[in-house]
């Protein structure tokens, strides 16, 4: 097989990880105006400058023209600074905040049009919420707090206890059911809040900065717990945070908001690698790229590939033409057989070998497409070929050159860049 040239992959498309799934939550043009009548709000939203018109009328535009969709089993993160509108949007999903304009579909139902009884049923059967400040009843035991959502739903006492204990066991509090909230640490109290949501087994879980009040180590533990539970349950989660590293770690996709509007919605690696504008670029300047970007994000075409049946002299000439010291050898299906180097090819020529079989070598580092850069970057530059990316079948997908790794990790905040502005209003 002659040398093969592959087209280098371009920027990743905006998508979730994995195949397309059923849409569970869909927002279309959602807006929320505070402090104005419906008539005043509608008039202001129709103005050329809605935010200015709302402010001039004495109101506040919490969110404007927000559209997104969340697929079944997806962790969808909404993030932004204080006042960006992220919690406003989350609370419109279950109508804790009444939308001023737009549509919000949950499991095909337009939440904005549901009467009170059907809205209660939606909250009881479909959506649960975990709040930032635990929201536990101080006079109830941990078990009774975990069972409260079931009690509201009219579940019998024996079943409530059984399901609450099972939920507490899942969050690591199986032996704390008889304790009161004040007897637990902050991290444990947040676990109770999570257990309360899990006990009702909702298809959709809303989480409003649930870990922001915790110290860093406990926060990391709670993130680990949530990721473990998500592997087991595959629940649809809308998660609000202002912490970029948390968003990148947890989210299948991340929606970045600023001043009530959506700035970018994409996977974490795409946002880091291809920010939509200067605001997002500034926002992600300090993120730990090595723990966000994967081999697939930095994938490049291999400089040269050869076939086992190629003559060593021809292969050596191709190395020279490409100014390379080594090349990959693949079979007809693209599976990686090994690498050859100029030194081994010279030896094969001297032996008058008819093909590359005797020159094959396994001196390369293979990684999977979803391996994090931080887990393999120390391997770059140690072999004659770059870090090698292969799929589960052993097919060569591409390489991650050392220069590409260094370039991707060196995108620091420009010295003359203005700081990301904080918004005073929460």
pLDDT string in tens for the chain (426-residue length): 333 322 333 333 333 444 567 999 999 999 999 999 999 999 999 999 999 999 999 999 999 999 999 999 999 999 998 889 999 999 999 999 999 999 999 999 999 999 999 999 999 889 999 887 778 999 999 999 999 999 988 899 999 999 999 999 999 999 999 999 999 998 999 999 999 999 999 999 999 999 988 888 888 999 999 999 999 999 999 999 998 889 988 999 999 999 999 999 999 988 988 899 998 988 888 788 888 889 999 999 999 999 999 999 999 999 999 999 999 999 999 999 999 999 999 999 999 999 999 999 998 999 999 999 999 999 998 889 999 999 999 999 999 999 999 888 876 444 444 444 443 332
How many other C-beta atoms are found inside a 10 Å radius of the C-beta of residue 109?
15
Residue 136 phi/psi, 5° resolution? Answer: -95, 155
CATH number for the domain running over 297-409: 3.10.580.10
With tokens 């081999």, the residue in question is: 295
| pLDDT for residue 8 | 30
| pLDDT for residue 269 | 87
Asked if 107 contacts 24 with a C-beta cutoff of 8 angstroms, the reply is yes
| pLDDT for residue 11 | 31
| pLDDT for residue 411 | 60
- Residue 269 tokens, joined: 């690696």
| pLDDT for residue 418 | 42
| pLDDT for residue 20 | 61
- The DSSP-derived string for 232-257 is HH--EEEEEES-HHHHHHH-SEEEEE
Domains 23-31+65-291 and 297-409 share a fold: no
Please, which contacts does 334-340 make with residues 24 or more away whose CB atoms are closer than 8 Å?
Answer: 334/395, 334/396, 335/393, 335/394, 335/395, 335/396, 336/366, 336/388, 336/390, 336/394, 336/395, 336/396, 337/308, 338/362, 338/364, 339/363, 339/364, 339/383, 339/384, 339/385, 340/306, 340/315
Spans of all domains in the chain: 23-31+65-291, 297-409
| pLDDT for residue 424 | 32
CATH number, domain 23-31+65-291, options 3.60.21.10, 3.40.50.300, 3.10.520.10, 3.40.50.2020: 3.40.50.300
How many other C-beta atoms are found inside a 10 Å radius of the C-beta of residue 56?
11
**Model-wide pTM > 0.85:** no
């Amino acid at each position: 097989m002659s040398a093969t040239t592959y087209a280098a992959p371009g920027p990743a498309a905006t998508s979730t990880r994995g195949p397309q799934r059923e849409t569970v939550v869909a927002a279309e043009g959602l807006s929320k105006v505070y402090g104005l009548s419906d008539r005043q709000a509608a008039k202001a939203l129709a103005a050329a400058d809605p935010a200015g018109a709302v402010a001039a009328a004495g109101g506040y535009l919490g969110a404007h023209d927000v559209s997104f969709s969340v697929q079944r089993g997806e962790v969808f993160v909404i993030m932004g600074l204080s006042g960006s509108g992220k919690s406003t949007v989350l609370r419109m999903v279950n109508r804790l905040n009444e939308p001023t304009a737009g549509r919000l579909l949950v499991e095909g139902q337009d939440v904005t049009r549901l009467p009170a009884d059907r809205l209660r049923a939606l909250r009881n059967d479909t959506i649960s919420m975990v709040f930032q400040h635990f929201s536990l009843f101080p006079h109830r035991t941990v078990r009774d707090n975990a069972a409260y959502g079931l009690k509201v739903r009219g579940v019998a006492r024996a079943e409530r206890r059984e399901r609450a204990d099972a939920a507490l066991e899942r969050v690591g509090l199986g032996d704390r059911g008889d304790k009161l909230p004040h007897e637990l640490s902050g991290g444990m109290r947040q676990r109770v809040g999570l257990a309360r949501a899990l006990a009702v087994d909702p298809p959709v879980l809303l989480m409003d900065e649930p870990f922001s009040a915790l110290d860093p180590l406990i926060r990391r533990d709670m993130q680990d717990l949530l990721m473990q539970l998500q592997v087991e349950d595959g629940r649809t989660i809308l998660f609000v945070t202002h912490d970029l590293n948390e968003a990148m770690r947890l989210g299948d996709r991340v929606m970045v908001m600023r001043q009530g509007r959506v700035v970018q919605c994409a996977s974490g690696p795409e946002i880091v690698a291809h920010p939509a504008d200067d605001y997002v670029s500034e926002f992600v300047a300090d993120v730990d790229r090595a723990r966000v970007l994967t081999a697939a994000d930095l994938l490049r075409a291999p400089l040269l590939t050869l076939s086992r049946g190629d003559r060593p002299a021809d292969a050596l000439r191709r190395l020279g033409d490409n100014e390379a010291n080594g090349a990959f050898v693949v079979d007809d299906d693209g599976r990686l057989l090994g690498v050859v180097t100029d030194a081994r090819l010279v030896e094969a020529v001297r032996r008058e070998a008819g093909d590359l079989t005797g020159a094959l070598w396994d001196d390369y580092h293979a990684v999977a497409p979803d391996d994090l850069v931080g887990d393999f970057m120390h391997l770059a530059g140690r072999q004659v070929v770059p870090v090698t990316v292969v799929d589960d079948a052993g097919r060569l997908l591409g390489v991650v050159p050392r220069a590409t790794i260094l370039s991707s990790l060196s995108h620091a905040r420009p010295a003359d860049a203005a700081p990301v502005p904080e918004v005073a209003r929460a």
